Amino acid sequence: MSEIPPETLKVFYKEFNKKVDLGNILTPTQVRKEPELSWTAKDGQYYTVLMVDPDAPSRADPKLGQWRHWLVGNVLGNDISKGDVLTAYVGAGPPRKTSLHRYIFMIYEQSKHIAFDEVVVPNTSTNTRPNFCARRFADKYSLGSPVAANFFQAKYDDYVPTLYKQLKD
């Protein structure tokens, strides 16, 4: 992101009653389940939801960043459950002995319903997740800049091996 979006996206992890607050620190355990999101959505407007980690495998060596954690297109209003899941949600999974990772959520306003031609990635796969580029994706679909965003930071905890087992490839 080259500019600050006009709205701070509300991100809430219900299971542990945790909200994302512009860089606060949460644990992989606390963010293991898909969060609730809300932003000022226009009636009848479609949006794209994106979550990336630019620090993969570490901030010192981000050769795999951006790592795509979640991507949902054609979200009508802010009802993510009715959008097209292009990449299923997986929470934070920073490797052991790396510093804090940033996990960035972005909301893009779509000009229309889009026929995305992306590979659909389940929450059991790493296929196409590493080396993602939000800007290239936004350019490909003429999304412009994010209209809302937020982020948290996380480092390794005991949940990370469980996540890695879930990601079979």
pLDDT > 70: percent of the chain: 98
Look up residue 55 and give its amino acid: D
Identify whether 2 is part of a domain.
no
Number of separate domains in the chain? 1
Higher per-residue pLDDT: 130 or 169: 130
> Where in the sequence is the domain holding 158, given as residue range(s)?
7-166
pTM: 0.96
The pLDDT tens digits for 135-156 are: 999 999 999 999 999 999 999 9
How many residues does the structure list for the chain? 169
Q: Distance between CA 131 and CA 55 in Å, rounded? A: 11
Q: Is residue 23 part of a domain?
A: yes
Contacts of 155 (CB under 8 A, 6+ apart): 25, 94, 98, 99, 100, 101
pLDDT (tens digit, 9 = 90+) per residue, 102-131?
Answer: 999 999 999 999 999 999 999 999 999 999
CA–CA distance, 92 with 5 (Å, rounded to integer)? 23
Tokens 């909301």 sit at which residue?
107
- Phi and psi at 160, nearest 5°, equal -55, -45
pLDDT digits (tens, 9 = 90+) for 6-33: 999 999 999 999 999 999 999 999 999 9
Confidence (pLDDT) at 3? 77
Distance CA 127, CA 123 (A): 10
Residue 28 lies in a domain: yes
Q: Does residue 75 lie within any of the structural domains?
A: yes
Residue 1's pLDDT is what? 56
pLDDT at position 145? 96
Residue 71: CATH number of its domain: 3.90.280.10
What average pLDDT does this structure show over 58-74? Answer: 95
Whole-number Å distance between alpha carbons of 134 and 163: 23
Q: What is the pLDDT of residue 79?
A: 95
